Structure 1
Amino acid sequence: MSAAPGGAPLALDGRPIDGGLYLRVDHWAQQLPGPVQHLVAWFSAYGLGLLAVLMLVAWWRARRTDGVVMARVLAAPFAVVLAFAADTALKSVLREPRPCRVLDAGRTLETCPGVGDWSLPSNHTVIVFAGAAVLWHADRRLGALAGLLAVAMGLSRVLVGVHYPHDVLLGALVGTAAGYLLGLLARSGAPLVERARAGRLRPWLAAA
């Protein structure tokens, strides 16, 4: 059992897993041109907004489809919340400190989170992979775009220096599992969507 900064015991120390790889990636990121560094940092911080855009596009397109597709699109935000809750629970158990806190990473592209802001799994990665998995059920084209966004987000979290690669891999697994499962279950909500389309919610759930 290792110890976190401040003496608190850790359930997991990520350094032996891929700390060397993290340091190599961090060194490479620090050699990138300034504008590229700023772009990567911006995307890593605000790229979740692109997932919201894809969800809105999916909703708009689903208005012209059957209730199953719309039910799955409407499930996407719930999948994100479910995945985030699972991620938060895992963080509280694993309690892995951020690599930028325990390794000599130098100047990272994003400010290192404070002590107690645990690293495993990656929140951002969990969220985008969960959304992508649900969208894949509803709209293959948008799901593929969301999948590319998810991969890019995961890579960016390592590049900016706030996560180990294994944080991202576990985040991808948790997010995909939560999103895929909820996407399957959402099919049962199709009758509710069809009933809602017959009422006052029709303008929001069906094209004119």
Structure 2
Amino acid sequence: MGTIDSDLYRDILQFAHDTPSWFQHLMEVWTELGLLLFAVLFVVAWWRARRGDPRALAVAVLAPLGTAVAYVISEVAKSGIDEDRPCRAVSGALAPLIDCPAYGDWSFPSNHSTIAAAAAVGLALAWPKIGWLTVPMAILMAFSRVFVGVHYPHDVAVGLLLGTLVAVLVSRLCAPVGARLVTTMRGSRNGLVLWFAGPGPATRAAGSGTAPRRGAHRR
């Protein structure tokens, strides 16, 4: 591994050890459980998109799909590159804050960073106003992997790039087909399908348009 990358890894890990214990524990929790927050946001994005146009719902549903695709690509790359974890490979580095993954659980690219980036970008495409939250979350997830000592900086940098690229491609390539599928689903007679696809904007507009007519009839 390059000297510059290893030196940066040592410096970040040294910084981690110099931070207060409460901050270390916070980062340890975030690096393990932070991805769950993205899962919650997937559900919220889908729910709010149920009253949007078909493309809006398609993009919201494609966000977790793109994340899954990014993870698979990352995992395939890891199994082929076989880069050992820095917590074993970098000499002179301090001990990681969490257990070093077992040998064979390779380092490049970072799955956590890939998943976080794909989720953050997918959510931002489906719900642009949430990008201010999800993008920093992904960057913090990537940094936390180096902070706790289980990844090189280049592992997380490539993971962020990979997740971003896959999320954008899946959304752009699949959204048109997804929008047509949502339109078909909204015309279904199956209650579960209709619940998943949502009423869309037309139903809401129709509902708001009938009330004034009933009021006018009473007058």
Per the normalisation by structure 1, the TM-score is: 0.89
Cα distance in 2 for partners of 1:27, 1:150 equals 22
What displacement does 1:17 show? 4.6
- Structure 1 unaligned runs (5+)? 1-13
| 1:119-130 matches, cutoff 5 A | 119-130=107-118
Q: Which residue of 1 aligns with 2:42?
A: 55
| 1:1-208 matches, cutoff 5 A | 14-103=1-90, 104-188=92-176, 189-199=178-188, 200=190, 201-207=193-199
What displacement does 1:90 show? 1.3
Could you report, residue by residue, the CA deviation over 1:104-148 in whole angstroms, capped at 9, with x for unpaired residues? Answer: 332211111011111010000000111122222211012332211
Q: Which residue of 1 aligns with 2:215?
A: none
Identity %: 41
Q: Which runs of 4+ in 1 moved over 2 A?
A: 14-17, 104-107
Aligned residue pairs: how many?
195
- Structure 2 unaligned runs (5+)? 205-219
Checking the alignment, whether the CA contact within 8 Å between 2:64 and 2:122 is kept in structure 1 is no
Structural RMSD (CA): 1.4
Give 1:112's aligned amino acid: C
Cα distance in 1 for partners of 2:66, 2:84 equals 26
Could you report, residue by residue, the CA deviation over 1:56-98 in whole angstroms, capped at 9, with x for unpaired residues? Answer: 1101110111110111111122111111111112112221110
Structure number with larger C-alpha Rg: 2
Point out the more displaced range, 106-115 or 121-130: 106-115
Checking the alignment, whether the CA contact within 8 Å between 1:137 and 1:184 is kept in structure 2 is no
**Higher fraction of helix:** 2
Corresponding residue SS for 2:93: coil
What displacement does 1:15 show? 4.3
